[in-house]
Amino acid sequence: MGLRPLRLRDVRVWRDSRLRNADWLRPWEPSNPETPLFRTGLGPYISMAGTLRREGRQGLALPWVVTYDGAFAGQLTVGAIVWGSARSAQIGYWVDGALAGRGIIPTAVALAVDHCFFTTGLHRIEANIRPENQASRRVVEKLGFREEGIRRRHLHIDGAWRDHICYALTVEDAPRGLLARWRHAREATASGGPSHEEV
């Protein structure tokens, strides 16, 4: 499992994955004309990728492809990056439904957060998740993000303004790195030991 930069040449595999996963993603995806789920053309991807790559060059986003066994498996974006005294960002992600439950996204989030904290120099990462999205909530809860409350009608999703739960993590919460903590927790669970390492 890995992360690599989002590329314009990912257009066809991205489109195919989004179409195949339309029902899987629909309840959780922002209603955004830039990235519709159901169009078969390549234009929405090219527009989205161009915007994210431009924001990346400006230091406002880190757009990645999630890979599994070297193949496209989903997408992870650290966006809404704020510098100055905040040094914060928001993280969003999705995985192909056929690959869900394999630890791909928790590993990808841990990799991304470590990069943000220890390479990029961010201090705080937020994940805003619909209360009904149990799978996505489990990802951040496994990684030790703390729940900070409800954001009422935070994003327009699947045709309506939806509430989201705000989860957050700061660099002080994972001083030795989130990936190391996640790997330790998985190894402990596999061996029947405690599933969470206190930091």
Left, alpha or beta for 150 (phi > 0: left; psi -120 to 50: alpha)?
beta
Q: pLDDT at position 37, please?
A: 47
Q: pLDDT at position 191, please?
A: 77
DSSP notation for 144-162 = TPEEEEEEEEEEEETTEEE
Rounded distance between C-alpha atoms, residue 55 and residue 79, angstroms: 8
Domain borders along the chain are 2-190
Q: pLDDT at position 41, please?
A: 64
Q: What is the pLDDT of residues 93-106, one digit of tens each?
A: 999 999 999 999 99
SS3 92: strand
Residues with Cβ within 8 Å of residue 20, at least 6 apart in sequence: 96
Candidates 142, 105, 139, 101; CA nearest to 3 is 105
**Buried-state track 70-86, b at ≥16 Cβ within 10 A, e below 16:** eebbbbbbbeebeeeee
Is domain 2-190 annotated with CATH 3.40.630.30? yes
Which residues of the chain, if any, have pLDDT below 50? 33-34, 37-38, 195-199
Q: pLDDT at position 194, please?
A: 53
Q: Say what the pTM is.
A: 0.87
